[in-house]
Structure 1
Amino acid sequence: MNNADSAAQSVRTMYAERFATDLTDNRAEQQELSSQIERLRARLEQLRADETWLTGMQAALPGETAPPRPRRAPRTGEKPAEGDTSAGTPVPGPRPAGRAKARPSRARTGGKKATAPAAAPLHQLIRALMPLGEPRLVREVHADLTEAHPERGTSVQVVRNTLETLVKRGVVGKGIQKGTAMYTATEPVPSENENAPATD
């Protein structure tokens, strides 16, 4: 009976430690996301204050009138109502017939490629930094991520949480060496053209 009680106590202790670690990681990620939201809100308020100040300064210039506040752009296929031009906004004259068709916007054609690296998911960035078959500590992966992508500002706890998710997906393996968790990439990083259709 003593051996059985001891084994049960050991199992309870193991699960208690695991749940405590997962709970700590969860709360750390919540805190990081909350901080990011607060920073974005503060930045938005600052931009609005700057807009008000700039509008007032522009209106104070001789011969200048305050520009109208930007309105929500109409949805695709939706035509603006007639007579909807804001008062005080100069109406452009008719264009020559040869220039009736507007040029495509540069921002529309190249915007996705410009923002793709910054918007990449965290698990993709972490996987790309892990050499195949080389065990890595969480702190090592975090250091590499901070050096390669300093703008992410991710904590060690969030990196550990992401690695655990990759372990569940089978992309990364996990082992214990001298009581420390080691993570090893088990699959190569997929290339950009891997899913492209083959052409003869």
Structure 2
Amino acid sequence: MSDVQPETAGVQAQYAARVATDLETNRTEQERIGAEVAALQEQLQSLEKDHALLLSMQQALGSPSTPAAAAKKTSTRKKAVPAPRASANNSSAARTKKPTATKSKDKDKDQGKAAKSAPKAVAKKPSAPAAGPTLVELIDNHLGRQSEPRSAAEITSALAQDLPDRSIKTTVVRTTVEGLVAKGRAHRTKQGSSVFYTSVTPAEEPAAPQPETTSTS
């Protein structure tokens, strides 16, 4: 009986260690997937901003696909439709329809004026600011300038200091730099429970100027 108890305790310890490992793996996966979702949301917001910028530029340039051009085409199409001819036996009905045709022409003229003035109004709007470098480019450049490994928190802190107007989260940075590791553009090392990253191709330092030599006579 005394031999069974130590054996049972050893099995329980093995299961407990395995459960603890599985819990840690599950928690790490949750953080990774959550970071990927945050990164995708940031990319979606960036695409939406680019979409709005492109639309404003398209309207300012007077592209045929703009709403103002579409309205102008509709107005032209309406003007091209000939008015129905009145029959000789219904001259009184033709006289009654003349005011309606005149009103229709006046309405088409107003629509044409509104369509012509629309691009001018759009052109006066201030253009949206140009999009800056992506987070991937920022992290890649930052790691390339470092001589020592950097953690995701250290990278986030440095980027936040350089770009105070841009909201950068550690989870998004971790996901992005892991993507660089997957592409072979960065190295990943682990020291204890901490993870550090280094660039595969560090930025080249400028060559030191050569001292000038003076010739002696």
**So what's the TM-score if we normalise by structure 1?**
0.50
Structure with bigger helix share is 2
**Structure with the greater alpha carbon radius of gyration:** 2
**So what's the TM-score if we normalise by structure 2?**
0.46
